[in-house]
Amino acid sequence: MDDQASRERRLEQALEVCRPDGLPADDAASAFLAAEMAARPGVAERYRRLQGLDARIAAAMREVPVPGDLAGRLMARLAAERPAREVSRRWLLAGSGLLAAAAGLLVAVWLGLRGGQPLSQQYVLDEAIRSFENSPPELQHWLSDSPPGGFPFSGMLLPGRQVRWQAIADFVGRHGVAYDLSGTEAGRATLFVVAGTVEGLGPAPALQPFTTAGCCASAWQENGLVYVLVVEGDPTAYQSHLRLPTGPIA
């Protein structure tokens, strides 16, 4: 179990730091990632989705005006906050060193500017799965009391014996609530709820979900809120969370 956990941590690090323009054989992290992609098809899909996210973030950064004194401000901030933290691969898109931190700031600005703008369905699904995969159960802090009234649980889903929740501060640039739907006999499942709209998104979860990397996901919108369900497992596990109609079909 410890070996598997260590391998997964190493894989997460490799996915984060490897450059999106190739996997050079002389780089240890890239060589490890290439081996994992060859042995596990789901890893290749995760890497593909991360590259897609990188491209969208890079395109957004090119559209954000950069203050003239940004470099000096970043240098002063970094000098005050040593030791430096590990830089994510998405910041490496803007270069190395201090430019990586600058890219991180630009992404944060971009997400803030997007606050009231429509989102795309695929972007929401990708972000939900990424958040789900990068949030191991041991790091979760679920609450059992009543969640905030502005982000109710969806009537489209079966709540199970106990519904737990936690606040989320930056999911697709918005705050909201994540609900834990994991049961004692089922795999992990999380429902993300944030305010906003998604062009072309329907009013109910799909019967056949988007499936990748061992997860199923579906997004819909109700009353000005975007709901995204992510379930660990196959479509059967996903459908077990849906409030499906019963009785004869007319």
Range 118-239 has CATH code 3.40.50:
no
Q: How far apart are CA 173 and CA 114, in angstroms?
A: 7
Question: d(Cα 240, Cα 183) in Å, to the nearest integer?
Answer: 11
Do β-strands 210-212 and 189-195 pair in parallel, antiparallel, or remain unpaired? Answer: unpaired
**Quick one: which of 233, 196, 193 has its CA closest to 217?**
233
Residue type, 68: G
- For 115, the 3-state DSSP assignment is coil
Give the per-residue pLDDT at 203.
Answer: 94
What percentage of the chain exceeds 70 in pLDDT? 61
Query: Does the pLDDT value for residue 138 go beyond 50?
Result: yes
**Low-confidence winner among 28-32, 35-39, 91-95, 218-222 (lowest mean pLDDT):** 91-95
Q: Which of 13-17, 114-118, 132-136, 213-217 has the lowest mean pLDDT?
A: 114-118
Q: What does the block give as tokens for 180?
A: 């834990």
Lowest mean pLDDT among 29-33, 79-83, 96-100: 96-100
Distance between CA 35 and CA 111 in Å, rounded? 34
Q: What stretch(es) of the chain map to CATH 3.30.200?
A: 118-239
| CB under 8 A, 24+ apart: contacts of 90-93 | 90/16, 90/53, 90/54, 90/57, 92/17, 92/19, 93/20, 93/54, 93/57, 93/58, 93/61
Write out pLDDT tens, residues 191-237.
999 998 888 899 999 999 999 989 999 999 999 999 999 999 999 99
Q: Is the pLDDT of residue 250 over 80?
A: no
As beta bridge partners, residue 221 has 226
Q: DSSP state, 154?
A: P
Average pLDDT over residues 68-83: 64
